[in-house]
Amino acid sequence: MIFKFLNKLNRHTKIAIFVAPILVILGFAASDLWLENKASEARFFQMTPDSGVCDIMASKCVLVSGEFKISVYQENGLTTINSTFPLDTATLFLVDENDIPSVFQMGMKDSPYYWYQSTPLESLAKSPGSRQKVRLIATVKGGQYISEFYSVTGS
Answer yes or no: are the C-beta atoms of 80 and 135 closer than 8 Å.
no
> Residue 101: is its pLDDT beyond 70?
yes
Following CA atoms 66, 68, 74, 80 in sequence, which dihedral angle do they give, to the nearest 10 degrees?
-150
Q: What average pLDDT does the segment 74-90 reach?
A: 92
Helix (H, G, I), strand (E, B) or coil at 125: coil
Helix (H, G, I), strand (E, B) or coil at 68: strand
- pLDDT score of 130: 86
In percent, the amount of the chain with pLDDT more than 70 equals 94
Q: List the Cα angle 87/92/97 in 5-degree steps.
A: 160
